[in-house]
Structure 1
Amino acid sequence: MTSSLLLRNGTVIDTDPVPTVLAGADVLVEDGRIAAVGPGLPAPADAEVVDATGRIVMPGFVDTHRHTWQAGIRAILTDATLPAYLERVLGELAPRYRPDDVYTGTLAGALECLDSGITTLVDWSHIQLSPGHTDASIEALRASGIRAVFGYCHGGDGDLEAETRRVHREYFGAPAGTLSMAMAALGPEIAREDRVLAEWRLARDLGLPVTVHMGGHGPESAARGLAFLAGNGLMEHPTTYVHANHYTDEALKRIAAAGGTVSVAPTIEAALDIGPPPTGRARNAGVPTGLGADTVASGPGDMFSIMRAAYLLERGRPNLSFGTADVLRTATIEGAEAAGLADVTGSLTPGKQADLLVLRTGTLGVAAAHDPIAAVVLSADTRNVDTVLVGGRVVKRGGELLERDVPSLLDSLSASAARLAGR
């Protein structure tokens, strides 16, 4: 990687404080960070200059909730509901996973993210059946080159506290580059009270944010779970509420006041009948709201599909005040807030990590678009993702992932998928 890279004369979209288009502008990257944005920037002597004329340059997408290990069971459970998912995927398939299946699935899932323009990922990893499964998950994320928050959800027969502390000590005790850790808590709507209290206590002691499935199991469960957190003084801890579908507007305001965030998986929440996605309601309540793919077992894995689902489900409610610029914020800077990385990524603010996308516009599906923001949200797809940078490092160029033997990985994924499905 050269120390400087200048993306010259692109249609630049920034996302903070609001999505804004700057035509004919440059983005300068130095030492992995965004150094400057504007027209006619001088090129440093050592800079690689990339002509972005006719292309869109923007922050990378942020996926705030994905079970990345499930890449090997893609489309295995469509036209189903949440109880069927719990029975089939978590009850039947997950116990079949070996550490090598976890590694292959997580690596393939993370590369799928990069290929489609997702540069930051919250990996909600509940396949931690043994220390070997955990080690495989982390090594795969590291090998992929993506910026990731590893959401550790303890499973198996070991000790929750001892194993969580081991993972933190061995992998995250010192700055770990593009990887960080979160407590992926089962939470009060799923687990016993003693486990919940242990999860939040560990998160506090280790300085980890919490990401938890709460609000998606019906109104009574949502109210009861939030009351438990409030009653035990846990709401003020940095927490992302995943599938906040059944919270009332007042409950969402309480989450906002406590500094919480929300992750919405609009395709999965609609497909599995979890409930109407709360994207607009959460944002109206003042909650930073990100988007996630959740599971490719039952839905798509690219942010373009997810953004369109979020937009259409809100507009069909109807929430006509929710527009394409709002969607783009949820897929970028608000997603970074939900991931706890708003000071690192999600916008083109100088000083942030250079997590960037260059999108082709010379395709039949995007050509002649009059509004670049709407084109990204409503018209583009993975074919338009030409170049991807993570921390200034080019991981995709000319539409191809770099430094990856993708065919061999796909062969391994296919073999893993066949074994897991019993074929």
Structure 2
Amino acid sequence: MSTPAAATPAATPAGPAPRPGQPVVLRRGTVLPMDARRSVLPETDVLVVDRRIAAVGPALQVPEGTAEVDASGGIVMPGMVDTHRHMWQTAMRGYGADWTLTQYFVWYYLEHGRAFRPEDVHAGNLLSAVEALDAGVTTTVDWSHGLQTPEHAEAAVDALEAVPGRFVLAYGNIHAGPWEWSAGPGFRRFVERRLRRSDMLGFQMAFDVTGDPQFPERAAFEVARELDAAVTTHAGVWGATGDDGIRLMHEHGFMDERTVYVHAATLSADSYQRIAATGGTVSVSTESEQSCGQGYPPTWQLRSHGIPVALSMDTSVWWSADLFSAMRTTLGADRSREHLEAHALGETVTNCHLRAEQVVEWATLGGARALGLQDVVGSLEVGRKADVVLVKNDASPVMFPVLNPYGHIALQAQRGDVHTVLVDGRVVKHEHRLVGVDLPAVRRTVEASVEHLRSALGEEAWRRGMDPEVPETKVRDNPYTYTEFRTGATHRRDAEPLSSGA
């Protein structure tokens, strides 16, 4: 007797989203407030009034007219914070899936990066900003090192301001030395005119320190200090930036608690000690470090030195654009390193040192601290700005049972499970759908950018860039030295035909 197929429930159309300014309460969720105890609060409500978290607790009394969101079966957490994303490259999503870091440098820095017009930077930022909200990333650092002119910077900010998220523009230009572009009058005028330093649009300066003993980057650091801007820098990148850059920054007094060191994967203990002593944060991009080779994801080193950690995604030219994958890969990389080190000593790891709750904290409060926003966002405390995410998906078998909420966020959930997102108290995603976002218009903008870049490069260069050559692999006829066995599938050392029995 056959078993009847289970009926597929009809899709329920999304109800109207709460109005801007309307109080909102998320009811009966499992709340992760990201407090000092890393608490788990079952069957708990979160009330948002006037852009802030007004109360957290069970069965809250709410003002008349409050919109209610059923959070039962879901996890309510702070909005996530990405501390390093090259948003301007997002229109080229997946283009460099098979790149090395060298190929990335050649494509953007030496060959084709100059083909980006202001409108291409705008298109990338627009798409990246929208997809960040969709994935529950409510604050994103736009590590914008494609700002060849102030007009490119204008386009970048225009895109960020068109999307109801929280952003930080990290101004940079890979086509000029930071001591050059930071001294230009156009840069100063842009900063004075467009960057009002609200908690909705922050400002950093983004540049790297090569280790040149003349320390030409000093001039850019002095501009940052004059403008009261934090510096974010790619440090500890194999073959590009290393200990000399850290030493020069430290000796000249340009390391402080607002500095964010991206990757920091190939540094010495001395450099980690300098970062720890000056209170800086490291933005770890595990997917990037694993694939590109900046160095092994350094969380194991950072933990041993007591250095604060934040997470980031780097660029959609290669990888995903959500922090669920960042948490997952970071947890795996750190634990893998610990196991391998133990095995080399003939030992066995019997308890995990890096826990799921820690990577969830790095993705939320850790990022907020790195940006100096820990008193604004990053936790669900009364009085904080209401950047709130509900992870819930009643149509997915992955979202039940929720036994270990921190583990579920770090290892089970994904962007498709993001049900509701609030930024600054405003609902920007409701019942799995973005609110007030014209995705077809975003698509048209991105398609126009891709068409321009493709035609500017030419079809052959476009194809070569996306499909880099695979180096010939040198393989012996048979890797096992104890036999002369060969088959047609192996590489031969001579041109003699194989015997019919080989």
Both structures adopt the same fold (TM-score exceeding 0.5): yes
Deviation of residue 221 (structure 1)? 4.7
Query: Which residue is 2:337 aligned to?
Result: 317
Deviation of residue 34 (structure 1)? 1.1
Q: Which of 416, 425, 442 is residue 392 of structure 1 equivalent to?
A: 425
Instruction: Indicate whether 1:272 and 2:272 are aligned.
Output: no
Counterpart amino acid of residue 386 in structure 1: H
Instruction: Indicate whether 1:408 and 2:428 are aligned.
Output: no
Instruction: Indicate whether 1:350 and 2:382 are aligned.
Output: yes
SS state of the match for residue 310, structure 2? strand
The 5-angstrom pairing of residues 10-409 of structure 1 reads 10-154=29-173, 159-161=181-183, 162-172=185-195, 174-176=196-198, 178-189=200-211, 193-194=215-216, 196-218=217-239, 221-236=241-256, 238-318=258-338, 320-362=352-394, 363-409=396-442
| Residues 344-353 or 181-190, more deviating | 181-190
TM-score (norm 1): 0.94
Q: Which has the higher contact order (CA 8 A, sep 6+)?
A: 1
Task: List alignment gaps of at least 5 residues for structure 2.
Answer: 1-19, 340-351, 460-502
Counterpart amino acid of residue 164 in structure 1: F
CA–CA distance in 1 between the matches of 2:25 and 2:451?
45
Deviation of residue 18 (structure 1)? 4.2
Deviation of residue 288 (structure 1)? 1.4
Counterpart amino acid of residue 444 in structure 2: D
| Contact 2:73–2:402 (CA under 8 A) maintained in structure 1 | no
CA–CA distance in 2 between the matches of 1:32 and 1:298?
35
Q: CA RMSD in A?
A: 1.9
| Residues 200-209 or 71-80, more deviating | 71-80
TM-score (norm 2): 0.80
CA–CA distance in 1 between the matches of 2:53 and 2:292?
40
The number of aligned residues is 420
| Contact 2:211–2:248 (CA under 8 A) maintained in structure 1 | no
SS state of the match for residue 120, structure 2? helix
Q: Which 4+ stretches in 1 moved above 3 angstroms? A: 154-159, 174-177, 188-192
| Contact 1:389–1:395 (CA under 8 A) maintained in structure 2 | yes
SS state of the match for residue 347, structure 1? coil
Deviation of residue 372 (structure 1)? 1.3
Query: Which residue is 2:477 aligned to?
Result: none
SS state of the match for residue 374, structure 1? helix
| Contact 1:249–1:282 (CA under 8 A) maintained in structure 2 | no
CA–CA distance in 2 between the matches of 1:107 and 1:4?
28
CA–CA distance in 2 between the matches of 1:384 and 1:234?
42
| Contact 1:93–1:421 (CA under 8 A) maintained in structure 2 | no
- Per the alignment, do residues 23 and 191 of structure 1 end up closer, same or farther by CA in structure 2, a change over 3 Å counting? farther
Counterpart amino acid of residue 265 in structure 1: S
Structure with the higher fraction of residues in strand conformation: 1
Deviation of residue 156 (structure 1)? 5.9
SS state of the match for residue 297, structure 1? coil
> For the pair shown, which has the larger CA radius of gyration, 1 or 2?
2
CA–CA distance in 2 between the matches of 1:402 and 1:278?
37
CA–CA distance in 2 between the matches of 1:371 and 1:322?
15
